[in-house]
Amino acid sequence: MKHTDIKDIFTKKEYIGTTVTVCGWVRTARDSKNVAFLALNDGTTLQHLQIVIDKNGDCVLPEEAAKLGTSLKIIGKVVANENHGTPEINAEEITVLGICPPDYPLQKKFQKLETLREIPHIRVRTNTFNAVFRVRSVMAAAIHRFFQDRGFVYMNTPLITGSDCEGAGEMFKVTTIGYSDKYKSAEEYYADDFFGRKAGLSVSGQLEGEVAAMALGKIYTFGPSFRAEKSNTLRHVAEFWHIEPEIAFCELPDLIEFAEEMIKYIIRDYMEKCPEELKFFEERVEKGLTEKLLNVVNNDFAVVDYTDAIELLKKADVQFEYPVEWGCDLQSEHERYITEKIYNKPVFLINYPKDIKSFYMKQNPDGRTVAATDLLVPGVGEIIGGSERESDLTKLLNAMKDKGMSTDDYKDYLDLRKYGTVPHAGFGLGFERIIMYCTGMQNIRDVIFYPRTVGNIR
């Protein structure tokens, strides 16, 4: 169907005075004796195009056209509005493409995000979700460009896997048969299943990413990861999109520098390409968002040792729900205190106790910490988790033994340390988390198309 995008009508002056065909859905309708106004939106911009219908002229306004949600094709002349100069259309012909009955759920101008969550197939038609998903798309492109411009190879790591990368037991099982008491043991059951062994949905592409980095040098993945965590929080979903670079010949300080460069690149690109959406989020979602993001791109991130962070938290004049001691896993309240109250900017926390981190992290000479880093940002908390990897086979085997892991499941991974091991490092960026940070949206369920959480799937 040949037609002009509404965005083009607003942005290209040459349309003024010409006759165009536009298509879209009715967002508001006002009718009076002599004239009717429709606000039309086709999804290409947050702005609605005003359609003016002179009821004394030749254009017929079909009765069902002036209803919220109705889809229309309109031929008409683009004119500049007398009062504010913005383009509008003097309609000449209106065709109804699809009627919309009064039970259409978006009758009210503003609806609560909770209510909209119940109708994911309709909520995308609101300006909030239009803005969120456009930003998501622009950011995905920025991420690919960032890595491609720097010579990284995009790898598609498997989604079905036989190993649990984080070793945290949060994997969804992949099976074609249900367990029944005809099996005498779990082993017998898995042996009978599709893959002949236990399989699950990948929590991270890192282990395969490391395999690729040992051949291609610099790689990244960008795909979904799955976590069967039952944490029903504002920042966890069971299916999230994960960006995981893995870099050979790279140590922790190089990794931190690189992660900061990447975050700044993504934010700069978003600010440049999405001014309309940024303005929308600034006005409707988070006051001061633009200034916050400008501060991020124009200043250095903080780098803080876990041990120092614990001291700062102990001295803090607040009663935390979870007490703080060296060796504890930081809770969201601690992370947020560090990044929001102490530094008020993004913070790389480094050198965590080895007992609370994954087996593959590089062991520091002190014998009790690992060269890990999490990037914490105000308002969201952790958006990146990463580390230098343990490249020494003996140390890696010892770490696995300490954590009670079976080395049989990780034979391929261990071969990487056997055949030409090198210092290397990588991290995982949660795509939804950085979108939350850049839009000010408070709930992760509102930055992903179809959120999957405990007890909720559609």
Q: How far is the CB of 376 from ligand 4AD (least distance, A)?
A: 9
- Take residue 57 and report the two structure tokens written for it: 């002229």
Nearest distance in Å: CB 73, ligand 4AD: 41
Q: How far is the CB of 144 from ligand 4AD (least distance, A)?
A: 17
Positive or negative, the CA dihedral 379, 381, 384, 387 is: positive
Binding flag, residue 362, ligand 4AD (CB under 6 A): no
Rule CB under 6 A: choose which of 24, 87, 430, 440 binds ligand 4AD. 430
427 binds ligand 4AD (CB under 6 A): yes
Interface positions, 433-452, toward ligand 4AD (CB under 6 A): 433
Q: What is the 3-state secondary structure (H, E, C) of 388-437?
A: EECCCHHHHHHHHHHCCCCHHHHHHHHHHHHCCCCCEEEEEEEHHHHHHH
Q: Is 236 in the site for ligand 4AD (CB under 6 A)?
A: yes
Is 237 a binding residue for ligand 4AD by CB under 6 A? The answer is: yes
Q: Give the 3-state secondary structure percentages of the chain, helix then strand then coil, rounded to 5.
A: 35, 25, 40
Q: Which helix (H) or strand (E) holds 279?
A: helix 275-284
The only residue of 24, 386, 440, 451 in contact with ligand 4AD, by rule CB under 6 A:
386
Q: Indicate the angle between helix axes 289-298 and 275-284, nearest 10 degrees.
A: 120
The single residue among 129, 146, 240, 359 that binds ligand 4AD, judged by CB under 6 A, is 240
Contact positions with ligand 4AD (CB under 6 A) in 187-206: 204, 206
Cβ proximity to ligand 4AD: between 48 and 433 the closer is 433
Choose which of 349, 383, 399, 441 interacts with ligand 4AD (CB under 6 A).
Answer: 383
- Give the number of other Cβ atoms within 10 Å of residue 449's Cβ: 12
Four-residue CA torsion sign, 360, 364, 369, 371: negative
Kindly tell me which of 282 and 382 has the beta carbon lying closer to ligand 4AD: 382
Among residues 205, 241, 228, 170, the alpha carbon closest in space to that of 457 is found at 228
> CA-to-CA distance for 62 and 199, rounded, in angstroms?
58
To which H or E segment does residue 141 belong? helix 127-149
The verdict on 384 binding ligand 4AD (CB under 6 A) reads yes
Q: Site size for ligand 4AD, by CB under 6 A?
A: 22
Tell me the C-alpha distance between 266 and 179, whole Å. Answer: 45
Stretch near ligand 4AD under the rule CB under 6 A, chosen from 19-27, 122-130, 316-324, 376-384: 376-384
Q: Among the candidate windows 112-120, 138-146, 237-245, 265-273, which touches ligand 4AD by CB under 6 A?
A: 237-245
Write out the residues near ligand 4AD by the rule CB under 6 A.
165-166, 204, 206, 227, 229, 236-237, 240, 242, 244, 382-386, 426-428, 430, 432-433
